[in-house]
Amino acid sequence: MQDTAITPLLNEASIAAERLVSVLRIAVTLGLFTVFVVTVAGVDFSSLAPFLHRQLLFAVLTMFAYLMLGAVTFVATTLGWFKPWMSWVSVTADCAFLLFNVWFSLENSNYPGGVALLLPPAWLVPLVLAYGVMRMDPRLQLYTTLLLSGGLGALIFWPNVHSDVGQLGQLQSILDGPANVMKLTMVLLAGLVMVVAAARMRRLFYRELEAADARANLTRYLPAQVADQLADGGLAALQQGQRQIVAVLFVDIRGFTRWSESRDPQEVGDFITAFRNEVETSAAHHDGMIDKYMGDAAMLLFDDGPVQFGLPNGAARALACAHTMNEAIHRWSDRRLAAEDTVVEIGIGVHAGEVFAGVVGNADRLEYSVFGDAVNIASRLEAHSKTVPQTIIASATTLEIAGITPARQRWSALPPVTLRGRSTVIEIFAKDG
């Protein structure tokens, strides 16, 4: 049974495939019409037999009708009028056009049914079968195969009292029953192979949709990087957790509680959304992972990452992200000030150290958690930024891991502090400007 969350995506893919089929119908018809015009351009129509006049007129009318079918289907799929069940009508129309063309050619020329698979309309059988594969629905493909095989079989073996087999005596060996049975069998087998192909394509597509849906659901509750690993089957490894060196960045809006008390809920929601957009953009620019939001605050993580990507280490990226975020928030604040709204001020604390990182909980409720002294220190540094003029505070350890010389890169030493919950003094720096 299909997942109800994935069914709309499958329907959307089905309609997109139908739109592509409509485009191909139009392209094929225009191509055939161009060849038709070039072919008959030098023909003396007065010398043609009456049945050829009828055949040419019917060919033009058929191409026009098929072009209209493609155009109508394209408009319907583009404007959202087309429903998934209409694909059955579309498939039936394709088969009907082909079979009716073969029948008319037989009747108009008084050829025996045995030549049905030799006539030009029958050459479009592979094209119609290919349309079915593109729809990635084995039921439609099987329906197309059976409809074409049954229809062509009926035309081949249906008695035609008007035909003159003698005029085709030299071709009798390829027009008798056994030969036509072989031709029909090949059409049937080709169609069945395409049924299998359509089923496999649909199964693979369904699995990809399931994986994408799982990632989307997990990303709502877990950081995107963790969600990707979890969706790929890494739950056991993530639950075991690991100790690693990461840089932790805390950012918090100054005076938000006081500001929000006198604001409309919609305005507060829009404000927080805009703030988080700036945070996410800055984090993405420096390959940072947003661990969690806490109201008007956010916690970001930066690990060293794969060596082959050539990224700076986590501490260096965290410090660069703090600078980028500070500038982005200042620009946002300036836009608000220009609109005669309040300014926005933030505080940022950064520290790098060892943490325990892993996923806790079960499949029903998972949470990515980072524990350790490094997290506490980064949080305390962000709180300490309220007492200094500068926005960004980082520990000396973070600058050392990042390979930064404070004086050269405009970091000023602040008085060492004893952070809440710690008994030792920690050296800290603030970013100038």
- Beta-bridged to residue 46, according to DSSP, are none
Domains in the chain: ranges and CATH: 2-217 (no CATH), 225-431 (3.30.70.1230)
Structure tokens at 33: 């019409």
Distance linking the first and last C-alpha atoms of the chain? 60
pTM above 0.85, yes or no: no
Give kind and range of the element (H or E) at residue 366. strand 365-371
SS3 12: helix
Q: Return d(Cα 240, Cα 234) in angstroms, integer.
A: 10
Sole residue written with tokens 């063309």: 101
Phi, psi angles (nearest 5°) of residue 358: 180, 170
Token output for 151: 């229809």
In one-letter notation, the amino acid at residue 366 is: L
Q: pLDDT tens-digit profile of 25-44?
A: 888 788 878 877 777 776 66
Q: Tell me, what's the pLDDT at 311?
A: 61
The pLDDT of residue 323 is 94
If one counts every other C-beta atom within 10 angstroms of the C-beta of residue 395, the result is: 25
**Under 8 Å between Cβ of 9 and 136:** no
Position 43 scores a pLDDT of: 64
Query: 350 has which bridge partners?
Result: 249, 394
Give which of 147, 134, 142 is closest to 202, Cα–Cα: 134
- To 10 degrees, what angle do helices 86-109 and 138-157 make? 20
Helix axes 50-78, 86-109, angle to 10 degrees: 170
Q: What is the pLDDT of residue 171?
A: 45
Backbone angles phi, psi at 293, to 5 degrees: -105, 145
How does strand 392-395 pair with strand 426-431?
Answer: antiparallel
Backbone angles phi, psi at 294, to 5 degrees: -130, 80
User: Apex CA 97: angle with CA 96 and CA 98, to 5°?
Assistant: 90
* Nearest partner of 240 among 254, 255, 229, judged by Cα: 229
Low-confidence ranges of the chain (pLDDT < 50): 1-2, 165, 167-180, 182-183, 186, 190, 193, 221, 226-235, 237, 307-309
Please, is 49 exposed, middle or buried when counting C-beta atoms within 10 Å of its C-beta (0-12, 13-18, 19+)?
exposed
HSE of 373, CA atoms in CB hemisphere, 13 A: 10
